Amino acid sequence: MNNLSPKVQNQLAMLQQIQQQLQTILSQKAQYEMAVREAKRAKEEISDSAEDAVMYMSVGTVMMQKKKETVNAKLSEKVETLELRIKSLEKQEKMMQGKFEQLQMQIKAAIEGKGTPTAA
């Protein structure tokens, strides 16, 4: 690493930073996807229950009794919001992946460009 130019060392540091950001984005996306699956599963359970079934919903640290249609509407809203966040994260992921690949190619070209004259 010491024989690399400061520019290449800086690019490697940027590459690592982009990689960490990508991992964070992927982690958030996985969490949101899991929350969507849970909410959709809850909606399925609600649709299978009777209209007059007793439903409870978490409001902060308190569980409150709510009507079936209210709980269903809140879950639908939650799914919609989470899916929008997932789409946003996918856009960020695509952008970061592009930056990562571009920087990776630049670093590879710089290293190969430096390595060739020394080997000859």
Which tens digit of pLDDT belongs to each residue from 43-69?
999 999 998 889 999 989 999 999 999
Residue from 20, 6, 1, 5 nearest 99 by CA: 20
4, 6, 11, 14 alpha-carbon torsion, rounded to 10°: 120
Question: What CA–CA distance (Å, rounded) separates 45 from 14?
Answer: 47
Confidence of residue 115 (pLDDT cuts 50, 70, 90): low
Question: What CA–CA distance (Å, rounded) separates 13 from 96?
Answer: 15
**Look-up of token digits 């699956």:** 37
CATH number of 7-115: 1.10.287.370
pLDDT higher than threshold 90 for residue 31: yes
Tokens coding 67: 């009507």
Domain ranges of the chain: 7-115
Query: In this structure, are residues 66 and 55 in contact, taking their beta carbons and an 8 Å threshold?
Result: yes
pTM for this model (two decimals): 0.80
Question: What CA–CA distance (Å, rounded) separates 104 from 113?
Answer: 14
